Structure 1
Amino acid sequence: MMPDFLGLPDLPGKPRTRGMTHVLDKGIPVGAMADHLESHVDYVDVWKFGWGTAYAERHLERKIGLLRRHEVVACLGGTLLEIAWAQGKADACLEWAESVGFGAVEVSRGTVPMSTDEKQELISVAAPRFTVFAETGYKSADRVLLPSEWHMEIVGDLDAGATFVVAEGRESGTVGVYDADGTPQPDIINAAIRAAGLSRTFFEAPRKDQQAWFVNVHGSDVNLGNVAPDDLLPLQTLRLGLRADTALRNLAEQVALGQSR
């Protein structure tokens, strides 16, 4: 039985529309994946198969079956769809993704040369069959979008049929919404929020310091992505103020509610 003697943030339960977490699967063994889902399924909403791992994963159908049983959305990584699009195989990729059980796809243009119009056409093709996570931002620090460009692209992606937007951070946490040291860039982050709203935006935040920053600045129910499976419970403690990095924020909230001395 879980304890209940502390004053903690009232986080939404599943299915939820805020405070969502999407995991980045970099090739975790299926047995370890099953263990993570059994232990921490309450803390994960979307399971993304990073870059092209789904195409090379021998146990893909077993993994998707596990996600289906645990009611976690299986999402195809955007880089694989970009590569397929560049080879003229986007339709084949989407047909395959649907046939093996993906309920969501990420549509991005962070790797191959692709215009926003071409990206948004791809979103419009995918949207009738999948929940579309439209990613904005590049995977190279040498390619930078201005905050106004982030805003315009995100608005266009949503108009094209995307359900959610994803603010790029990669697994390194050193591009997109971060500088080269991994420090969040508020001007870009705020541009994304203005364009889509917090509830429709996932911020890729692979590092603990980045996760803590988002919780402290944007609240316990911010949507975070590219979370490692091993970090599901640690992230939940950040959301709940049960870790030093976010404890003072929660204590201040409890004082405001008259629940702390």
Structure 2
Amino acid sequence: MDAAPPSFLTVPERPAKPRSAGITHVLDKGYSLDPVRSVLKAYSGWIDVWKLGWGTAYIEPALAQKIRLLRDHQVKPCTGGTLLEIAWLQNRVAEFFDFATWAGFECVEVSRGATELPLTEKRELIQLARSLGFEVFAEVGSKDPLELVSAVDWIAELQGDLDAGATWIVAEGRESGTVGLYDEDGSVRESLLDELASSAAAGRIIYEAPLRSQQAHLLRRLGPGVNLGNVALEDVMGLETLRLGLRSDTIGLGIEIGEPVRAR
């Protein structure tokens, strides 16, 4: 029988699932069933959304078992946005949604960072996904590191995506953490973050943050309830310690600490 978790430290309160804040969204880069099963058994309480990155869902040999595992652990399986962009490019959108329905996905990501998908058609895809019963994660930002980043354009796009029916906005950071919200060295574009964090939609933004330094920075700036995405499977516990101030990067996060009491 497992022992009760310790409770002698003061740490930020962590809401139970289903959460509307403090979302942890992991990126599946092609993990086999054994590590997925092990992580879910141990840490599913910390994971809210599981995105099968880019087009991995299309070739995943154990897709049905993986999605069943996720749903059994109350973790929402989500398609990667690139897969829908490719389906759009090949005029196979209807087939994509048939596939996502058949596979048991609860969520789909709608993006336009890898193709020339027009904004109007992005909104149509969001509306279509919602009409079919999917929860929509609408990504804002390009995967091209050379594309100019405009906070005004991001805010306008995310607001339009929400109006079209998106539940969550995903701020692009990619797996590398060097595009979109981040400079080429992985540092946060502070002016862009300021605009996103002060927007009316702030509570519905998931910030892709694959690097520990990015996760710690966003937690220090926006608090333990910030929504973070593209988290690697092996970093799930590390992120949870960051959220709770149990790592040097975020000691004291979200709580007031008085003078230390030392033994005499």
**Correspondence for 1:201 among 198, 202, 205:** 205
Amino acid at match of 1:174: T
Q: 2:175: which partner in 1?
A: 171
Q: Is the 8 A contact 2:12 2:253 kept in 1?
A: no
Go from structure 1 to structure 2 and tell me whether the alpha carbon gap of 1:125 and 1:168 turns closer, same or farther (over 3 Å shift): same
> What is the CA–CA distance in structure 1 between the aligned matches of 2:72 and 2:220, rounded to whole Å?
33
Q: How many residues align?
A: 257
Shift of 1:153: 0.3
Q: Is the 8 A contact 1:138 1:144 kept in 2?
A: no
**Correspondence for 2:107 among 100, 104, 107:** 104
Q: Is the 8 A contact 1:20 1:223 kept in 2?
A: yes
Q: 2:72: which partner in 1?
A: 69
SS of match in other structure, 1:81: helix
Q: 1:57: which partner in 2?
A: 60
Shift of 1:194: 3.8
Amino acid at match of 1:117: T
Q: 1:94: which partner in 2?
A: 97
Q: Is the 8 A contact 2:181 2:188 kept in 1?
A: yes
Q: Is the 8 A contact 2:139 2:169 kept in 1?
A: yes
SS of match in other structure, 1:48: strand
SS of match in other structure, 1:254: coil
Question: Sequence identity, in percent?
Answer: 47
**Correspondence for 2:86 among 69, 83, 86:** 83
Q: Which runs of 5+ in 1 are unaligned?
A: none
> What is the CA–CA distance in structure 2 between the aligned matches of 1:244 and 1:179, rounded to whole Å?
24
Shift of 1:248: 4.1
Q: 1:136: which partner in 2?
A: 140
* 2:26 corresponds to 1:20: no
Q: Is the 8 A contact 2:29 2:56 kept in 1?
A: yes
Q: 1:3: which partner in 2?
A: 6
> What is the CA–CA distance in structure 2 between the aligned matches of 1:74 and 1:228, rounded to whole Å?
15
> What is the CA–CA distance in structure 1 between the aligned matches of 2:20 and 2:52, rounded to whole Å?
21
Shift of 1:232: 0.6
Q: 1:241: which partner in 2?
A: 245
Worse-matched range after superposition: 181-190 or 222-231: 181-190
CA deviation string 1:3-34 (max 9, x = no partner): 00001001111111000101000001111100
Q: Is the 8 A contact 1:24 1:229 kept in 2?
A: yes
Go from structure 1 to structure 2 and tell me whether the alpha carbon gap of 1:259 and 1:68 turns closer, same or farther (over 3 Å shift): farther
CA deviation string 1:187-231 (max 9, x = no partner): 212333344533211000000000000110000110000001111
Runs of 4+ in 1 over 6 A off after TM superposition: none
Alignment of 1:139-158 (within 5 A): 139-158=143-162
> TM-score, normalised on structure 2?
0.94
> What is the CA–CA distance in structure 2 between the aligned matches of 1:73 and 1:149, rounded to whole Å?
29
> What is the CA–CA distance in structure 1 between the aligned matches of 2:200 and 2:70, rounded to whole Å?
27
> What is the CA–CA distance in structure 2 between the aligned matches of 1:224 and 1:207, rounded to whole Å?
11
Q: Which runs of 5+ in 2 are unaligned?
A: none
Go from structure 1 to structure 2 and tell me whether the alpha carbon gap of 1:259 and 1:100 turns closer, same or farther (over 3 Å shift): farther
Amino acid at match of 1:76: T
SS of match in other structure, 2:113: coil
Go from structure 1 to structure 2 and tell me whether the alpha carbon gap of 1:259 and 1:44 turns closer, same or farther (over 3 Å shift): farther
Q: Is the 8 A contact 1:77 1:106 kept in 2?
A: yes
Go from structure 1 to structure 2 and tell me whether the alpha carbon gap of 1:43 and 1:254 turns closer, same or farther (over 3 Å shift): same
Go from structure 1 to structure 2 and tell me whether the alpha carbon gap of 1:78 and 1:65 turns closer, same or farther (over 3 Å shift): same
Worse-matched range after superposition: 140-149 or 37-46: 140-149
